[in-house]
Homo-oligomer: A and B are copies of this chain.
């Protein structure tokens, strides 16, 4: 469970609601046609950009990725790969066949070594696997970023529609204020959707993809060391460069 996402979303919504309630009338901020225009317009423009299936998939994986937390950490993986290297060095690569491995990508790499693939093949296959994994996950980021771009645009479109309607009917000066208030609501909705939901989730997906990239690069290097039967201590020394300095002792 990624607490940061929940805390961020909850506290961001809270401060906006507090600002609204302090000013008084909450219902002055609710206008269903304005919501329909901003949310509907932003979704329509996003579906147009991609495909319906991609947008649905991105919303699903995006939300689950934003809320979930990867359990594997670089230092855990370094310790585990150290043990595998130890075993491979003593008993041969074949001893790693069918061994329990916590991380799927490491499992795949070890299996390729056990199957006797060449150094180049293992390197190429794992690197491409990593790159395509990242590419597929960047799709989700792009879709949330598209929503974050489209929502303020449709907010502005809604405000323009409201202003044109208001300016065409100015007989009763009493109605100008409230009409303009409603016209501004779409801009407010657009800004909230973009800045409180869509763009932060896009950035969260990007930073999770970045973390996963570092993790998988670490696993690729470790796997190649295991295949080469590098001395486990040298390997751990080498891989610790991937850790922030404060965590290096933990792995060594």
Work out how many copies of this chain go into the complex.
5
Q: CB distance B48 to A4 under 8 Å?
A: yes
Contacts of A156 in B (CB 8 A): 191
Instruction: Give the residue name and chain of the B residue nearest to A205 (CB).
Output: B49
Contacts of A125 in B (CB 8 A): 238, 241
Instruction: Give the residue name and chain of the B residue nearest to A50 (CB).
Output: B207
Contacts of A2 in B (CB 8 A): 51
Interface of A is mostly: helix
How many residues of chain A get a CB closer than 8 Å to chain B's CBs? 85
Query: Closest CB-CB distance, A35 to chain B, in whole Å?
Result: 10
Residues of A that sit less than 8 Å from B by CB:
2-5, 7-9, 11-12, 14-16, 18-20, 22-25, 28-29, 33-34, 36-37, 40-41, 43-55, 125, 128-129, 132, 136, 146, 150, 153-154, 156-158, 160-165, 167-170, 177-178, 180-181, 184-185, 187-188, 191-192, 194-196, 199-201, 203-204, 207, 238, 241-242, 244
